[in-house]
Chains A and B, each alone.
Chain A
Amino acid sequence: MASFITKHLSISRRLFVACALAGVNVPSFSHHGVAGLGAAGLRGPGAPVESATSATLPAGETLAYLKLDHAKYETYDSDPANPESDYANYWMAGLGYGVTPWFSAYLFLPYHSKVDEPRGLDSRGFADISVMGQIGFKYDEGWRLIPDNESLDDLEDWHFTVFGGFTLPTGDADLRLDDGSIDPGKSTGFGKPSWSLGLTATKMLSPQWTFNQELSMIGFQEYEYDDGNRTKFGQEIRANSALVYRAYTDLNRNLRVDLSMEAQYLHLGRDRTNGVDETATGGDMLYALPGVRVYWDNTSAAFGVKSPIWTELNEESQQQGGEGTEDYRLIFTFSALF
């Protein structure tokens, strides 16, 4: 029994005390996938499916992460002569490392495939690698960095992180489509580094309920493509709120099941091409993302269905295939801590 308790707590510590699977937004192409690493733990704070959380990785431990964001778009034109965006798969593989209890470093490699209706122009390939850093801190009779060791009671404190990162132009910004054209929205690279900055706050409201908040933004630089055009993608601002409910816990099997509901607000700035505002870009939208997360031993898997419940796009009727015009998005993540 004693060894069981110690083992359980040890696992818990690995998974949430320090564990973390904190979330990070990774800049990728608009119309893109957003990586979020969930948090784990048997009795600690829960983590939503996609939003960033305030958990940092245990010092000296490595996180492996995989995400698929499948976006299915609404189509407006039934004429086969005018193919529209059909769906996109945004894959994301990532590695994280706990440098200290309060600082985690991440590396992400995205792979995108964007598929049009028949006779459309598809694109696929590895996108820009991103590098992220995350600093965790908390309030416990004063502000302090996340310590090496926290009890379940410590985990009930407000926890915060600030995170930031940038992409490296490893993708193909000048990807030519089948007709020889370059569509920046379908390229697999930005051409120049982009940057991101964010803040998270997490609080266990009770042993079962966890509140999570993420505020983040992504900025882009102007890039001149091989065809001579210059594009700068509009800035992105996110405000994601989530409630997570710990629905089932089996300490003997190191198993936990959480239900979560996320409300994700996204503001997209208008893109600019050759110095001029681009039509059919940008706007505001709100997504609902109900989901479920399962923890088992040192792994965590999450699944959710994301759909826009409110949109105010700049030229909505012309923005088919972009954010806010999805029929639905299926989000799946898997992470493991070693």
Chain B
Amino acid sequence: MSQARISLTVSAALLATASHAHDYWFEQSAEDYLLHRGHRFSQHQGEKEVPFDPKIITGAYCLRPNEVTPSHAVVGEGYPLRVEGPCDAVMVSADSGYWSQTLTGTRNRSKDELFGVLRSWQALESVKRVETWTERLRDPLSTDLELLFTTNPFALAVGDKLRLTVVFRGEPAQGVTVAYDGDPRGVTGDDGRINLRIRHKGLQLITASLEEPLHSNKADKRVRSTILMFEIQ
């Protein structure tokens, strides 16, 4: 699996690992962040920009410098979505609704609205960008699926192991697939932990996803996914 090529000026994320989901990524704008959606890093083809309705955003958190409690980040309107900075870490959660795959493509509709649906899912997504290390980052910023550092990642070099914990609702999450630059590297155990090796300098993209059956006529399953991004100099 090839690694994503990443511009240093762009923060990228592969949200909703699979399922032909779109990528979400931040671009820095002065002290703020602009959240984009499209096909920049995923392994399937699609339009570069796929604007979204800001209503899909379910949470925006900013851990501001020298603070220990993440605050609600002010988000703008329109697309790309502006998130107010500066933040030691910024996180945005979204519910992009129901998705259905048919023979003619993937639609942002529930399966009961379409004919000939092959599979369907509800996509709950989040993305977290970490700018600098603080001890507070050992704990989650949200109650969503989230990737946590166990040690300072900015002290790592290429070849070192990045030790992570995946949590959901603040508790270790078992059975979560974790990928590095889109390449699945393992599944978390009952302690939620997983170790990945830093392969290159620059922007690091860690994605995690968790599926659960959804007993609904709208979709077959619910896919929770999250991205963690940070830079190694």
Contact = CB atoms under 8 A, between A and B. Distances in A.
A313 interface: no
A9 B177 contact: yes
Interface string B186-205: 11111101111100000000
A302 B196 CA distance: 31
Nearest to B192: A149
Given A2-B211, A2-B223, A150 B186 contact: yes
Contacts of B185: 151-153
B175 interface: yes
A151 B206 CA distance: 14
Nearest to A2: B18
Interface string A9-49: 11001000100000000000000000000000000000000
Interface in B157-203: 161, 175, 177-180, 184-191, 193-197
Interface residues of A, number: 22
B96 interface: no
Interface centre among A2, A4, A9, A156 (most CB of B within 10 A): A2
Contacts, number: 70
B195 A154 contact: yes
B126 interface: no
Given A10-B187, A13-B187, A17-B186, A151 B194 contact: yes
B64 interface: no
B197 A153 contact: yes
A5 interface: yes
Interface of B: 17-20, 161, 175, 177-180, 184-191, 193-197, 209, 211, 223, 225
Q: Which 8 A-B pairs have the closest CB atoms?
A: A151-B186, A149-B189, A1-B18, A2-B18, A153-B197, A5-B184, A9-B187, A152-B185
Interface of A: 1-6, 8-10, 13, 17, 140-141, 147-154, 156
